[in-house]
């Protein structure tokens, strides 16, 4: 079955880059997603990458996809305190359903 | 603004007392989803509707039911809440054939 794994916690200083990693198991996934969840809130779509791409850049966000190793990463440049949140990696498990990882809590200190 | 709305944001119920959570959307999306998210865990898909077609996940307990009376609204009914059902419940929508999902703010359910 599908399983998405993420490290649980990352702490960085304001201004540094953050890299959040994810591994997935379903090689047939067409899209891979990164969602952000702030405390007490729903999930906000940050970015996504199509499986035939290996990199996507969107302002401060860079997504890298290594399809051979089933590894996905999200790099946040110039991390700000407002970036503190939980970040979820998700793959589309079949049709339009998603399988989420447990989330990585990013803590940005001043 | 087109959006996904969940009411109430916080719901308290008693053990065994039926409760209904609601979700509405102005996106006119065909597909609506309900997820359960417990603390420090991944959102877990309970079921989804493709238009009026209901799709239940194999491991969703019978205690959880859903209704979708029209495109805009979808309800989650918990018939006899247990302490283990305390969680954040997230509603999401997508267009047909797309896995890009748009989430509401969630309803946090407390069971006393």
Of the pLDDT bands very low, low, confident and very high (cuts 50, 70, 90), residue A1 is very low
B14, with CB counted inside 10 A (0-12, 13-18, 19+), is exposed
Residue among A41, A88, A96 whose CB faces B31 most closely: A96
How many A-B residue pairs are in contact by the CB < 8 A criterion?
Answer: 58
Positive or negative, the CA dihedral B3, B7, B10, B15 is: negative
Of the pLDDT bands very low, low, confident and very high (cuts 50, 70, 90), residue A28 is confident
Does pLDDT of B66 surpass 70? Answer: yes
Question: Buried (b) or exposed (e) across A86-97, using 16+ Cβ within 10 A?
Answer: bbbbbbbbeebb
The residue of chain B nearest to residue A45, with distances taken between CA atoms, is B102
Is there a contact between A110 and A11 (Cβ–Cβ < 8 Å)?
A: no
Residue among B45, B97, B106 whose CB faces A41 most closely: B106
Does pLDDT of A45 surpass 60? Answer: yes
Specify which residues B94 forms β-bridges with.
B31
Q: Mean pLDDT score of chain A, rounded to an integer?
A: 91
Question: Buried (b) or exposed (e) across A61-83, using 16+ Cβ within 10 A?
Answer: ebbbbeeeebebbbbbeebeeeb
Q: Decide if B45 and A4 are in contact by the 8 Å CB cutoff.
A: no
Mean local confidence (pLDDT), B76-89 = 96
Is there a contact between B99 and A98 (Cβ–Cβ < 8 Å)?
A: yes
Does pLDDT of B84 surpass 50? Answer: yes
Most A CBs within 10 Å: which of B21, B42, B58, as the mutation test of the A interface? Answer: B42
Is there a contact between B110 and B14 (Cβ–Cβ < 8 Å)?
A: no
């Amino acid at each position: 079955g599908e399983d998405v794994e993420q490290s649980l916690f990352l702490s960085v200083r304001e201004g540094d880059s953050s890299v959040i990693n994810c591994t997935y198991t379903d090689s047939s996934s067409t899209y891979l997603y990164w969602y952000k969840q702030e405390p007490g809130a729903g999930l906000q779509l940050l970015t996504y990458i199509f499986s035939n791409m290996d990199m996507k850049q969107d302002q401060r966000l860079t997504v890298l996809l290594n399809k051979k190793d089933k590894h996905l990463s999200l790099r946040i440049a110039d991390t700000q305190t407002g970036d503190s949140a939980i970040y979820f990696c998700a793959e589309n498990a079949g049709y339009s359903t998603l399988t989420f990882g447990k989330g990585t809590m990013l803590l940005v200190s001043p | 603004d087109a959006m996904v709305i969940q009411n109430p944001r916080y719901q308290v119920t008693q053990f065994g007392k039926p409760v209904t959570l609601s979700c509405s959307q102005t996106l006119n999306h065909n597909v609506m989803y309900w997820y359960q998210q417990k603390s420090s865990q991944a959102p877990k898909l309970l079921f989804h509707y493709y238009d009026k077609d209901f799709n239940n996940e194999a491991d969703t307990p019978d205690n959880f039911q859903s209704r979708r009376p029209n495109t805009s609204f979808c309800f989650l009914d918990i018939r006899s809440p247990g302490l283990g059902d305390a969680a954040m419940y997230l509603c999401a929508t997508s267009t047909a054939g797309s896995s890009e999902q748009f989430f509401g703010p969630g309803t946090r359910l407390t069971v006393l």
